[in-house]
Amino acid sequence: MKLLKSRKPIQIAVLTAVLLSSVSTLSSAAAANDSALSFKQFLNTRYEITLSNSLSKGDFIIAVNRILKAEAKDQTNVFTDLQKDSPYYEAALALYKKGILSGDTLRGDQTLTQLQAIFIALKASGLKELAYTYPKDKIKTALAKVHIDYEQNNTLTLQAAQELAAAIDTGLVPSKFLADTAADESFANELLGKILSFNGQYKHYLGTTSDDDIFRKINDAWRTEDLISATDLRSVFEDALKKNLVTGYNLKDSRFDANFEPKLSLTYGHSDITHAIQLISLLRSENVQAKVQLEPKTSAFIYLKEWGEPTQSDDYQVVQIENGNFIAYSKEYDIEFEFDNAEQKNKFQQIIFQYAKKNSEDQTGLIYSSWWQPLYYSLTDIKDYKVIANNKVSKGHYYAQSFSLSDKSDEVVTGLKKIDASLNVDSYNFWVDEPFYNYLLGEYK
């Protein structure tokens, strides 16, 4: 379907009037959006997408399809200018099948314009039905935000005007929008990042350490968290506990994964929500700025019968095993932090050692419920941390994981596969604080 009433470009004099001073009006949330650089890093890390400054329409189509993971199965080639040996073939057919591309010509080798990119991104963001609700008066109001007089500049078809208007209102239009100008790397990365956001595939977080409402959000997230069942995974790892293959494990739900930049992030585990509130307050008092995500976690471990009859609740349950001991399941959490820079990430351990690590029974000056061996870790190398292994099994959006010393990982993997030969165990090294490393060595304090 045609989006322009003629081949004549949209009047450059009108659209190039979209200056930086007007960009801030595109969306009230624009200032909070990540920069194109952050999107670029994320796209490279998570999707291995690296764009150049000279982009064709086909290049953008490939990138969009890599994000959406659409398939072209059983889709007939509708494009008269697209051959099967084209690098755009699979992606173009997949996006056509999803209703993101239309018409019978692709023009994949042509330079990608910003307006073309917007039309593709709007549909890839799941916004086209919203766009087609726009009457002419609403279109006029939206386009006026970027200094386009819709009544006087009617080179856009109604459908194209609706799509552009919806893209403006939802904040999809990046800064420095110039319709017929070539979309460069920065523009395309920003659009791709917003497609990720609209599809729930970008970073997930409740807020930042400096937000006024971060404590309410943390408490709300904690109150709505339940013990994770994941019966199939529990069955395997309960066997592993009984065989002393692992000393404990935890269950998590990947739908809550923060997806933060690994080089800037740390994961901190605990069981008491007051500790989390005080920890975030502590970071604020130390001028540490970070994004914050609370990831639900259920920890499982052996509860010895000599400890006495366990008290059960909605947040703490036990299952008795053959030798009279119990397997305890406790509601806990991981806080994922993404710091503003590497220096602040490095500073985190100093703060924990001073204010959140217990060194004696009668120690004062610590935040509430500080542990002898606090648990926090990085997926990238960090000074003064120790390398250990994670042994992880996923099923659907749930996963079970057990930490071990690196030289014990093969033993854990082999043991898990003896329990269930069909298991795919993802074992990898990461960096943990030294007190927790000592805990794995068997040290209590």
Please tell me the predicted confidence (pLDDT) of residue 275: 98
Residue 156 backbone phi and psi in degrees, to 5: -80, 140
Distance CA(320)–CA(322), nearest Å, equals: 7
CB atoms under 10 Å from CB of 132, counted, come to: 12
Please tell me the predicted confidence (pLDDT) of residue 13: 32
Task: Tell me the per-residue pLDDT of 198-240, one tens digit each, with 9 for 90 and over.
Answer: 999 999 999 999 999 999 999 999 999 999 999 999 999 999 9
Please tell me the predicted confidence (pLDDT) of residue 12: 34
Distance CA(130)–CA(112), nearest Å, equals: 24
- Is residue 63 within 8 A of residue 49, CB to CB? The reply is yes
Please tell me the predicted confidence (pLDDT) of residue 149: 85
* Residue 50 clears pLDDT 80, i.e. is over it: yes
Please tell me the predicted confidence (pLDDT) of residue 11: 41
Instruction: Compare 180 and 209 and report the one with higher pLDDT.
Output: 209
Distance CA(50)–CA(188), nearest Å, equals: 11
* Residue 7 clears pLDDT 70, i.e. is over it: no
Please tell me the predicted confidence (pLDDT) of residue 6: 43
Choose among 270, 264, 268: nearest CA to 290.
Answer: 264
Across the chain, mean pLDDT equals: 91
Banded pLDDT at 347 (limits 50, 70, 90)? very high
Task: Tell me the per-residue pLDDT of 51-96, one tens digit each, with 9 for 90 and over.
Answer: 999 999 999 999 999 999 999 999 999 999 999 999 999 999 999 9
Distance CA(158)–CA(147), nearest Å, equals: 18
Please tell me the predicted confidence (pLDDT) of residue 34: 59
